[in-house]
Amino acid sequence: MGDLLGVRDVTIAYPTEHGAFIAVEGVSFAVAEGEKFVLLGPSGCGKSTLLKAVAGFMPIAAGAMELEGRRIERPGPDRVVVFQEFDQLLPWKTVLANVVYPLRVARGLPAPRARETAESFLAMVGLDRFAASYPHQLSGGMKQRVAIARALALDPRMLLMDEPFASLDALTRHKMREELLAIWETTRKTLLFVTHSIEEAVLLGDRILVLSAGPARVRRILANPAVGARGTEAALAVQREVQTVLGQ
Amino acid sequence: MTRAATRTALRKAAILAALLAAWEAWTRLGEVSPLLFPPASTVLAAFGRSLANGEVPGYAAQSLQVLLTGMALGSALALVLTTLAVGTRLGAEFLETLTSMFNPLPAIALMPLSLLWFGLGVQSLIFVIVHSVLWPMSLNTYTGFVTVPPTLRRVGQNFGLSGWRLVLGILLPAAFPYILSGLKIGWAFAWRTIIAAEMVFGVAGSQGGLGWFIYQNRFEMNTDLVFAGLLTVILIGLLVENLIFRWIERRTVQRWGMSAGH
């Protein structure tokens, strides 16, 4: 398995009134095909900025960012983002139409095939009964599941998730993490996942990149033998290790 | 309808009936000249007659045709102005300056200039209507575009949309609640403006429209028909606002759980 995403010495800066604000500085990492890679760091450390740059929403000031050896220059359906915000669904479209629409415009699928694909992915996240509902009729957790179905239906090279469960209540959040693991088992889609929760990082990440705060720099990249395990000794050990790295 | 809503409707109907009865009693018993203030029954009869002989519907159709032409033109111009304003900073400042300049100016105040420039014709009316629609439409559409959630914009870009495909696929529907509310305000301004403007035509001796119908009948002392004309203006206003726009809202922004937030 070769590297799918390569990030080398990337620096990202925002222009502000007092000159440039460095959000990310000299970050390097690589994500392999089929890997679940987590970016972990304190709130406001610039980890979301890094993900937005991978998505193509944000230019980088220095370094290189490549997907399968090609420079990332603009957003595209080969890297689909699941956002934290619930308003990422199009409110004027039904749940089904929300999944069908990108298949039509981004993949150019004919209507019947787009519909079939959308229906099967909605069934995968358990929302086929809500195909005719509008987003405002769904709970927060259901909205995020539609967003995940929509992203996976597009069959991207990589799935990018920006704290997708952070706005959910604790119970739903736990359930969604488990569901994401189950979904990943069937799709094996390469995942770049941003979170500030150590527990979430250790549950989901094959490898965890721990970032320092403002500007974001690489503290350490940890291999996580406890991925998918909840509350085991191994998981607790990794959590303690991450905590130590974060506390440095 | 819920029970509370039914009761409210019944109470309002009772208020209306009481007002009509008071009007009828006052004009019949109080020796009021029917040339100045005809009884309610006379007015309703005149309204029925002018409906039946096609006089009022004809004039109303004339007013509405001019109004819709003006609104279509005004909306198209508003879309152009808004596109400029969203695209460039200069365009945004241009729109802000123009709207703040023309908002306090009643469109009807431009009628003398309009007559001077376009003469006694439909063009003069359309010019005034365009003016009454253009500014509220532009302001609302612009607000709609700039308040589209950044996440939604990014979702569109993520689907590979850009330029006109992003505008048509994401920005326009996301701004729709504001556009609809701009259309509602535009209609309300335009309807009041056209009735007033047609009366200026009445002065100038040309003809056409409900406003002219009202003005003309006042000259001929057909006061009951003047009232019938006013009644028509009210009824059409209510019909468009409570039936047509409500119908559109139920099928769009209400179904989608979207609102313009003002």
DSSP string, A3-48: EEEEEEEEEEEEEETTEEEEEEEEEEEEEETT-EEEEE--TTSSHH
* Residues A151 and A196 occupy one common structural domain: no
| Cβ atoms A242, A198 nearer than 8 A | yes
The whole-angstrom distance between A198's CA and the closest CA on chain B is: 26
Restricting to B residues 122-181, those with a Cβ less than 8 Å away from any Cβ of A are: 149, 151-152, 154-155, 157-161, 165, 169-170, 173-174, 176
In a domain, A42, yes or no: yes
pTM score, whole prediction? 0.88
What residue ranges in A73-229 does DSSP mark as E strands? 79-82, 158-162, 191-195, 207-211, 218-223
* B98 inside domain: yes
- Flag whether A223 is in a domain: yes
Q: Which residues of A touch B155 (CB under 8 A)?
A: 81, 83, 88, 90
**Predicted confidence (pLDDT) per residue in B87-127, tens digit:** 889 999 999 999 999 988 998 999 899 989 998 888 899 99
> Encoding tokens for residue B216?
């003309």
Question: Is B25 contained in some domain?
Answer: no
Residues A13 and A136 placed together within one structural domain of the fold: no
Burial per residue of B78-91, b for 16 or more beta-carbon CB atoms within 10 angstroms, e otherwise: beebbebbbeeeeb
The pLDDT of residue A14: 87
B151 to A137: CB separation less than 8 angstroms, yes or no = no
Last residue of a domain, one of A135, A155, A175: A155
| A95, A145: one domain | yes
pLDDT higher than 80, residue B202? no
> What CATH number is attached to the domain comprising B211?
1.10.3720.10
Final residue of a structural domain among A155, A188, A209: A155
Domain final residue, candidates A155, A174, A204: A155
Residues A127 and A191 in one domain: no
**Residue found under tokens 């559109």:** B248
Q: Domain limits at A104?
A: 89-155
Give yes or no: residues A29 and A40 share one domain.
yes
- For residue range B170-194, what is the model confidence (pLDDT) as tens digits? 999 999 999 999 999 999 999 999 9
Mutate which: B155, B170, B259, vs A, most A CBs within 10 A:
B155
| CA B209 to chain CA centroid, nearest Å | 15
Which domain covers residue B201, as residue numbers? Answer: 39-256
Confidence (pLDDT) at B261:
58
Give mean pLDDT, residues A48-73: 95
Domain co-membership, A42 together with A96 = no
Are residues A64 and A161 located together in one domain of the fold? yes
For the stretch A158-188, pLDDT in tens is 999 999 999 999 999 999 999 999 999 999 9
* Confidence (pLDDT) at B207: 63
Instruction: Please tell me whether residues A148 and A193 are part of one structural domain.
Output: no
Residue A178 and residue A59 share a domain = yes
Q: Tally the C-alpha atoms within 13 A of residue A69's C-alpha that lie toward its C-beta.
A: 1
Q: Are residues A69 and A173 in the same domain?
A: yes
* Shared domain check, A60 and A175: yes
> What is the number of domains present in chain A?
2
B12 assigned to some structural domain: no
- Give the number of domains in chain B: 1
